[in-house]
Structure 1
Amino acid sequence: VAQLTGKLDKALELLANMNQPPQPAVVENTAQATLTS
């Protein structure tokens, strides 16, 4: 669980740093990769 939380935190941090609305496909792929790993 801690690893998943860390991955989510990093992903959210990257998205926040970009300050751009992420593409739905990218978010979907990232979510699937995070949930399956």
Structure 2
Amino acid sequence: MNFTNPAKKSRLILSKWKQNDFIFKSAIPFPNRKKLF
């Protein structure tokens, strides 16, 4: 079994999550963003 595969997969998921998080934060108007984060 290839042990580098799960690491690559988790890294891909993490980068995807970061991208979604960025999109989510940018979608929120700036005044509301300060209250939430």
Give TM-score, length-normalised by structure 2: 0.51
When the two structures are superposed, what TM-score results if normalisation uses the length of structure 1? 0.51
Amino acid at match of 2:27: N
- Give matches, 1:13-28, under 5 Å: 13-19=21-27
Which contiguous aligned blocks of 4+ residues in structure 1 show a shift greater than 4 angstroms?
none
Higher-Rg structure is 2
* CA RMSD in angstroms, aligned pairs only: 1.4
Identity %: 10
Higher normalized contact order (CA 8 Å, seq sep 6+, divided by chain length): 1
